[in-house]
Amino acid sequence: WSNGDGPTIGGYAEYDATPENCQAADTVKRPRDGMSEYAAGHTDPHSALGIGSLSGFLAAKAAMQKYNIPGKLKLMGEPAEKVRGAKPIHAAKGYYDDMDAAISYHPFFTLTLANTTIWDTHVGAAYSIVYSFKCDNPETWMRAEHKSGSVLDAAAWAVTPAQASVRCPGATEAVIEMHNVAKKFKEHLVPTTIGGCINETILTLGQATSDNQCPRIGQILIVMRVQDPETAEKATEILDRNAESIAKMCGCTWEKIWVSKSRMGLPNHVMAEATFENFKIAGAPQYSEKAQEYAREIQKSLGLEPMDKPLCEELSELQDPREAEAKMRLMFPADQVYFTSDDYADYTWQTPTVRMYNARPALKVPSGYVYPSWVSSATGGIPEMIDPTMVNAAQIIGMTIVDLLTKPEILKAAREEFNERTGGGIGGSKWVAPLCDYEPPVDLKWPEYVTTARGEDQWCIPAKGDK
């Protein structure tokens, strides 16, 4: 949306959720009405991310119209963050290059980052790959035996019942071996860091029944979160060698399908400072007695003694970015540069970008206790608990956009810092170019949640009792 010539400010909403995390906005564990508990749900929650960001941009638009502030707002729709899917592709296509600055918002994931902006320690690189194994010629598995003079002849082979034959291992075995090797080789793939990891999930397995038919296709998604692309490239080389060996061992061919190559984040102190100034104006999220009551009901449903004030006090406190940085640095070695991963990093190399976090509901933890994951999902859907997060984010984002449009000195300083850190801006001597050299993997069997003539089409096989 444009209101005449002026700076372009970017931001985004995210369109994804997490399979197997369906939870009602309730104080007890249960899926949303009419759905399986294995359907998708918002855990972070990206629902609050999207509404908070959109509302901030709408607030800025209203201010621009009322006060005739020139400029352009560009709110991107970003799917598939959970597999680092969209932003690396959008960056490579140049969708961010016209932005004079960008705002990356997320509800916090740790109290250390409640109500602040990231100063230095941004996210690391992430690679996401599907290894696809196919067994299109299982009949060749024992052919070498015939050539070496086996008593079995071709005619006998042709009429041997499947249940009486030696079966080619096939794609299921290949995926299982790839999964096991990825697990066992983790310490041989990437250096040990805090917040770095390799995770895997099986997307597709052989669709044959268990009657000694050879499974023909299997696919496993492997996501690595590491410090930098160089580390990811070395790990990928090892995984490729493993896939080649496993394919031969199981009578398969293999293919590598890229899902994501996401860069590490680039700091911008000017953007972090300018945004935090608006944290000071808006304050932190504040929670009503009704929100506290919901939190007590959750504790009661878990068999805990309800607390008088169960929501963490830190939720309603600001943290200076430098102080938050110092606290976070205590969590990992001094030589570690990056922490965790998120594909927002692909904004940071295309335009000056701030990464901001505000509080989302979090309950105090009784000594020796750990809350089940459904609690976090539930509090992300109860209006009295999650609305303060979204409203607060919208206020901060909206004010920051207006500042960027009306205070050219901020954009000038942010661009100068960006150019210095990249060695001259986009294409500079220290700039890291987009890593995406692949087509969007839209044809894979991703989870779908659609209603068809057959009803609700879930991606999973329902368990007994599911509806």
Catalogue all structural domains in the chain, each as residue range(s) with its CATH number: 8-124+264-422 (3.40.630), 128-262 (3.30.70.360)
- 164 vs 232 pLDDT, higher one: 232
Confidence band, pLDDT 50/70/90 cuts, at residue 158 = low
Confidence band, pLDDT 50/70/90 cuts, at residue 148 = very low
- How, if at all, do strands 253-262 and 125-134 pair? antiparallel
- How, if at all, do strands 101-107 and 353-358 pair? parallel
pLDDT by residue (tens digit) across 205-237?
A: 876 667 778 889 999 999 999 999 999 999 999
Confidence band, pLDDT 50/70/90 cuts, at residue 147 = very low
Q: Is 427's pLDDT higher than 80?
A: yes
pLDDT by residue (tens digit) across 253-287?
A: 999 999 999 999 999 999 999 999 999 999 999 99
Per-residue pLDDT, 306: 98
Per-residue pLDDT, 69: 99
Per-residue pLDDT, 459: 57
Q: How far apart are the first and last CA of the chain?
A: 43
Q: What percent of the chain has pLDDT over 70?
A: 89
Mean pLDDT across the stretch 127-154? 74
Distances (CA, A) of 420 to 65, 266, 269, 423: 34, 11, 12, 5
- CA-to-CA distance for 343 and 363, rounded, in angstroms? 28
Per-residue pLDDT, 34: 83
Q: Look-up: residue for tokens 């169960």?
A: 310
Q: Is 457's pLDDT higher than 60?
A: no
Per-residue pLDDT, 137: 92
Q: Is pTM beyond 0.85 here?
A: yes
Per-residue pLDDT, 35: 83
Per-residue pLDDT, 140: 87
The DSSP element (H or E) to which 130 belongs, if any, is strand 125-134
Confidence band, pLDDT 50/70/90 cuts, at residue 461 = low
- CA-to-CA distance for 151 and 148, rounded, in angstroms? 10
Query: At CB < 8 A and 24+ separation, what contacts does 273-276 make?
Result: 273/117, 273/321, 274/354, 274/400, 274/403, 274/404, 274/410, 274/414, 275/103, 275/117, 275/354, 275/356, 275/396, 275/400, 276/116, 276/117, 276/320, 276/321
pLDDT by residue (tens digit) across 317-330?
A: 999 999 999 999 99
Per-residue pLDDT, 98: 98
Confidence band, pLDDT 50/70/90 cuts, at residue 465 = low
Confidence band, pLDDT 50/70/90 cuts, at residue 142 = confident
- CA-to-CA distance for 27 and 29, rounded, in angstroms? 7
Mean pLDDT across the stretch 435-458? 75
Mean pLDDT across the stretch 395-414? 99
Q: Is 153's pLDDT higher than 70?
A: no
pLDDT by residue (tens digit) across 343-361?
A: 999 999 999 999 999 999 9
Mean pLDDT across the stretch 13-25? 89
What are residue 423's phi and psi, to 5 degrees? 70, 35
Q: DSSP characters for 200-218? A: EEEEE---S-TTTPPP-EE
Per-residue pLDDT, 190: 75
Question: Which one-letter DSSP state was computed for residue 339?
Answer: -
Least confident of 35-44, 135-144, 215-224: 135-144
What are residue 167's phi and psi, to 5 degrees? -95, 140
Q: Is 108's pLDDT higher than 80?
A: yes
* Mean of the per-residue pLDDT values of the chain: 91
